[in-house]
Amino acid sequence: MALTAAVAGGSGYAGGELLRLLHAHPDFSIGPVAAGRHTGVAITDVHPHLIALTGQHFVETGAHTLGQADVVFLALPHGESGTLVSQLPNDCLVVDLGADFRLTDANAWQKYYGGEHAGTWVYGLPELPGARTAIAQSTRVANPGCFPTGIIVGLAPLLAADLVEPDDVVVVAASGTSGAGRGLTDSLLGSEVMNSMSAYKVGGVHQHTPEIEQALSAAGGDQVTVLFTPSLAPMPRGILATSTAKAAQGVTTEEVHAALHAAYVHEPFVQLLPPGQWPTTAAVLGSNQVYLQAVADAHSGRVTVVSAIDNLTKGAAGQAIQNANLMAGFAETSGLTGMGVAP
């Protein structure tokens, strides 16, 4: 029997992607879809591509309505999930796509987000060792951020195998504009974005920094320090991340590939590409896949890992459904695809 899925924040890009995937899911049926300022508005007025939802309207964001569903997906701005969750039934499965419950350190939350720390849930990156079991046993899961997903998947096995050093990790990653949300700002206007790339939140101040450090430190057992520089790319969706770290003495590309292969050979949504083939955002468009490639550079003494994901799918809605599948006891891949859309 299908479970009912409710979505809070359904008018955003991640919310729209959730609805697209949920409609095609064999084990979930779409229940109430809430969207603050769009209450009463037809879903297709905001998401015209969701034609199958014609006649359905956004409802007010309230725990009473959302809590009637079996599973609730929260696609709300950071800092808004905590209050709502406290009013939901304890037996309701909840996946939070925001950052509210990702961090274990309340001081890090205060520094990077501000306000009161809501707490810590199971971190929903199934490909990490032990995570799949923890997710399946939980009723509350914190979905990882879009940037952290590809970065962590690429570096975690190398830190666990002591192939790279933890104290000098540098990441430069480019995201499509949908990663900034649907809010109207001058920097996201078409005239500003087209034919231009721009860095933002430079100097270790991006809010995903502590999340990346937290997960990578857990993977390797030592405290990881990350310098993370994001940039905005002139495309609607996708993330290409280039992560480098100081290599352990004598590490070769073959050893790096062997570690990544061993970690992900049986993973349905992580693909280590053949040597010489590099990830592109176009290849993962619309899929729940992570594409990886890596190389050890003897000249600089560093290892480089390049990862590509669709920020709205594996970086948000697809991963949320992957987690919900595990929580509900469904096949992990149900309703999802590792095949991209081209051209």
User: Is residue 294's pLDDT more than 80?
Assistant: yes
The model's confidence at residue 184, banded by pLDDT at 50, 70 and 90, is low
User: What is the rounded distance in angstroms from the CA atom of residue 222 to the CA atom of residue 160?
Assistant: 9
CATH 3.30.360.10 domain extents, the chain: 147-311
User: What is the rounded distance in angstroms from the CA atom of residue 60 to the CA atom of residue 291?
Assistant: 38
146 is catalytic: yes
pLDDT > 70: what percent of the chain?
100
Burial 137-162 (b: 16+ CB within 10 A, else e): ebbbbbbbbbbbbbbbbbbbbbbbbe
pLDDT tens digits for range 9-19: 999 999 999 99
pLDDT tens digits for range 128-170: 999 999 999 999 999 999 999 999 999 999 999 999 999 999 9
CATH 3.40.50.720 domain extents, the chain: 3-143+314-328
pLDDT tens digits for range 212-234: 999 999 999 999 999 999 999 99
Does 3.30.360.10 match the CATH number of domain 147-311?
yes
pLDDT tens digits for range 234-279: 999 999 999 999 999 999 999 999 999 999 999 999 999 999 999 9
Domain range 3-143+314-328, CATH architecture? 3-Layer(aba) Sandwich (3.40)
66, 146, 260, 303: the catalytic one is 146
Among 116-120, 125-129, 160-164, 184-188, which is the least confidently predicted range?
A: 184-188
* Token pair 């609730």: residue: 72
